Each structure stands twice: as C-alpha cells, then as structure tokens.
C-alpha cells in the first residue's frame, strides 16, 4: 500500500476522516473525542489494480473503508479463483479484526485503482485504553453488525446452507 497522505493536507483530511467515521454504524455511538482521535490516526492508502491486501491465513488486523474503487474477495478452489463478493465506495470490511486475531479465510485484492481509509488494531487498542467505555460500545456494534450480516445472508438461505453457517444461536 502506498500512502497518499500529504503533510500540507493533513488538517482537511483529518476532518474528512472524522466526517466519514462518525456516520458509520460501527463508530456512531463512540464518544466524539474517540472518533476524532481515530480520524487523526487513520491512514489513507492508494492501491493499484491487482494489489493484494491480505491472503488466506493472514491476520487482517485492519478495518477498511473504501473511499473509491473496488475490492474483490475471492477464494482459491483448486486451480480456480472463485469471486465471493465485490465491495465498493462506502463499504467497510474488517471491523471484527480490530479486537483480536482473525486469520483470513479469503483473499482481498483491489480490482481497480482503489483508495481506502484504514485503522489498524494497534490504533484501536490505544482508543480502548484511553476511552474504556468504547469496549462496551464496540461489543454492541459488533453484535449489531453480526445481526445485520445474518439478516442479509441467512434469511434467504436454503436449509442445507443454514446447517453449515455457524449461526449465532451458539
């Protein structure tokens, strides 16, 4: 990843980062100061087409907000590469990996020139240390995200598929 942050643009970029983050469901309930600090620590990266963000087995350790371009999630199946999902501007990935190791089950790569805003686990841990209430708020956000995922992906699934999903009733 190539950083596209220029020192002379830092203040407007930090404000823009704040505006983007505060409106995301995951960060919406966080204290304003915590979101502002995350906005300051967040990094923008310009990805080239085909650039791999992570491969199967990698520990993500990052939250991604796509600002422009497209990312493709895929899985190797023998000699074939199966495209699982495509993500575009405004979509987020990796929020669960902010709290702990999450080895990737898939490959994520840029399918076009793409700009992402990232927050890494170390940055998020600093927020947790400085704002202890964020831990409880993050847990609630994770549960809402999991519920949203279930509604999107499981409500229309066939019974055979539901038996293999690891639904959250556990």
pLDDT value of position 143: 85
How many independent structural domains does the chain possess? 1
Both tokens of residue 22? Answer: 């505060």
Give the number of other Cβ atoms within 10 Å of residue 83's Cβ.
10
Assess contact for 75 and 105: CB atoms under 8 A.
Answer: yes
- Domain residue limits at 21: 2-132
Over the chain (170 residues), what is each successive 10-residue block's mean pLDDT? 51 91 93 96 97 92 96 90 94 90 92 97 94 91 82 65 53
pLDDT value of position 141: 87
| 159, part of any domain | no
| 109, part of any domain | yes
* 11 SS3 class: helix
Q: Cβ neighbours of residue 122 under 8 Å, at least 6 residues apart?
A: none
- What region, left, alpha or beta, does residue 41 occupy, with left being phi > 0 and alpha being psi -120 to 50 degrees? alpha
| 152, part of any domain | no
| pTM of the predicted protein model | 0.82
pLDDT value of position 81: 87
- What region, left, alpha or beta, does residue 82 occupy, with left being phi > 0 and alpha being psi -120 to 50 degrees? beta
CATH classification of the domain holding 122: 2.60.120.10
Please, is 119 exposed, middle or buried when counting C-beta atoms within 10 Å of its C-beta (0-12, 13-18, 19+)?
A: buried
| 125, part of any domain | yes
| 37, part of any domain | yes
């Amino acid at each position: 990843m190539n950083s596209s942050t220029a020192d002379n643009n830092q203040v407007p970029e930090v404000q823009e980062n704040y505006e983007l983050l505060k409106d995301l469901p995951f960060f919406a309930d966080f204290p304003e100061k915590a979101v502002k600090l995350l906005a300051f620590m967040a990094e923008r990266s310009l990805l080239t087409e085909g650039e791999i963000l992570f491969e199967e087995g990698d520990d993500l350790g990052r939250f991604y907000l796509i600002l422009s371009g497209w990312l493709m999630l895929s899985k190797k199946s023998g000699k074939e590469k199966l495209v699982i999902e495509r993500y575009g501007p405004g979509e987020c990935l990796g929020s669960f990996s902010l709290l702990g190791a999450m080895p990737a089950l898939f490959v994520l790569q840029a399918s076009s020139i793409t700009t992402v805003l990232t927050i890494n686990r170390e940055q998020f841990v600093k927020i947790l240390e400085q704002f202890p209430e964020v831990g409880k708020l993050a847990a609630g956000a994770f549960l809402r995200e999991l519920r949203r995922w279930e509604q999107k992906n499981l409500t229309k699934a066939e019974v055979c598929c539901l038996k293999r999903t690891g639904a959250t009733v556990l």
